[in-house]
């Protein structure tokens, strides 16, 4: 299993990193739209859409992202879209987690399907818009999620005692979540301190610090780290409601695409909203 995870991760990095560092925006937009299309297929399956409809949904989402990329929509998205998506994640996510696994099927299937497709599409727009801001900006937002995820895993393994959401994701603990949040704050501070010496600027962290100072930067880091945990928990809720462990088997050793990008989905629109202030 570990060998599979490492090989899959290396393949993904071999595709994603050159696309992210390409001067043009379309290579990364194209690769990310393919991942979002796959995630749309997985979401449809998790919410009861039969095989043909799920495939069609994924292809339509891929086509929609591709069309938006072609006509330059990511560079023209109104700021209100980022704020509305962030509010939907915060309010809707809180309500869904409070309702738990039994509450998810009470939402009608069309509503569940469209909600997922819309949020996936907006997240893709936010990721593509972040790339337009530059590689440093894009990677710094990715680092928020990667840091929170890895630190939470090791913190939970080391100190985890109290379960964060036992009925949704038994492996997650409050200690792990707090470790992840603390690690994101530490990375944000370190990034701002060392970024000027690298000659590279315009990361998300530096952008917030320059405009609002240390206090707001710390609050923003806390907020985005918490959002990444929410995205992870919500996908776990949907999978548990569907009675499956992974969103699919597309990524050997990792599960599905949704399993890898769930925490990114709320963080990127929120980062774009905050960067617009």
Residue 20 burial class via C-beta count within 10 angstroms: exposed 0-12, middle 13-18, buried 19 and up: middle
pLDDT (tens digit, 9 = 90+) per residue, 236-271? 999 999 999 989 988 877 789 999 999 999 999 999
Nearest Cα to Cα of residue 265 among 241, 221, 232: 232
- What pLDDT is stored for residue 200 in this prediction? 62
* CA 216 – CA 66 distance, rounded (Å): 36
Mean pLDDT for 184-188 is 95
Which of 2-16, 60-74, 85-99, 191-205 is predicted least confidently?
A: 2-16
Give me the residue spans of the domains in the chain: 82-275
Give the HSE-up count for residue 232: Cα atoms under 13 Å, Cβ half-sphere. Answer: 24
User: Is residue 1 over pLDDT 70?
Assistant: no
pLDDT (tens digit, 9 = 90+) per residue, 193-244? 988 766 666 899 999 999 999 999 999 999 999 999 999 999 999 999 999 9
* CA 129 – CA 28 distance, rounded (Å): 11
Mean pLDDT for 72-87 is 96
- What pLDDT is stored for residue 161 in this prediction? 85
pLDDT (tens digit, 9 = 90+) per residue, 120-159? 999 999 999 999 999 999 999 999 999 998 898 888 888 8
- Calculate the average pLDDT of the chain: 91
- What pLDDT is stored for residue 202 in this prediction? 83
Mean pLDDT for 9-16 is 82
Residue 64 pLDDT grade (very low, low, confident, very high; cuts 50, 70, 90) = very high
Whether 239 and 169 have beta carbons less than 8 Å apart is answered as: no
- What pLDDT is stored for residue 77 in this prediction? 96
Mean pLDDT for 75-103 is 94
Instruction: Give the distance from CA 66 to its chain's centroid.
Output: 19
> What are the angstrom distances between the C-alpha of 41 and each of 8, 121, 239, 241?
20, 13, 14, 17
pTM for the full predicted model: 0.94
- What pLDDT is stored for residue 160 in this prediction? 79
- What pLDDT is stored for residue 3 in this prediction? 66
* CA 206 – CA 186 distance, rounded (Å): 14
169: three-class secondary structure by DSSP: strand
């Amino acid at each position: 299993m570990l060998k599979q995870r490492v090989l899959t991760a290396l393949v993904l990095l071999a595709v994603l990193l050159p696309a992210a560092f390409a001067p043009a925006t379309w290579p990364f937009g194209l690769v990310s739209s393919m991942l979002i299309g796959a995630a749309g297929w997985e979401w449809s399956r998790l919410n009861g859409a039969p095989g043909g409809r799920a495939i069609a949904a994924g292809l339509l989402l891929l086509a929609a992202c591709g069309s938006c990329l072609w006509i330059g929509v990511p560079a023209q998205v109104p700021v209100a879209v980022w704020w509305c998506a962030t509010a939907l994640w915060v309010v809707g996510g809180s309500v869904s987690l409070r309702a738990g696994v039994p509450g998810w099927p009470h939402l009608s299937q069309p509503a569940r399907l469209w909600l997922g497709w819309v949020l996936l599409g907006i997240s893709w727009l936010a990721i593509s818009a972040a790339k337009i801001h530059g590689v440093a900006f894009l990677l710094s937002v990715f680092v928020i999620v990667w840091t929170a995820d890895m630190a939470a895993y090791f913190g939970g393994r080391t100190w985890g005692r109290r379960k964060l959401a036992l009925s949704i994701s038994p492996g997650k603990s409050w200690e792990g979540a707090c470790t992840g949040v603390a690690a994101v704050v530490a990375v944000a501070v370190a990034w701002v301190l060392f970024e000027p010496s690298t000659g590279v600027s315009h990361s998300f962290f530096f952008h917030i610090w320059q405009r609002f100072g240390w206090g707001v930067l710390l609050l923003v880091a806390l907020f985005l780290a918490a959002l990444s945990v929410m995205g992870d928990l919500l996908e776990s809720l949907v999978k548990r409601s569907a009675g499956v462990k992974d969103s699919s088997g597309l990524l050997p050793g990792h599960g599905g695409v949704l399993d890898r990008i769930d925490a990114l989905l709320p963080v990127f629109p929120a980062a774009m909203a905050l960067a617009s202030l």
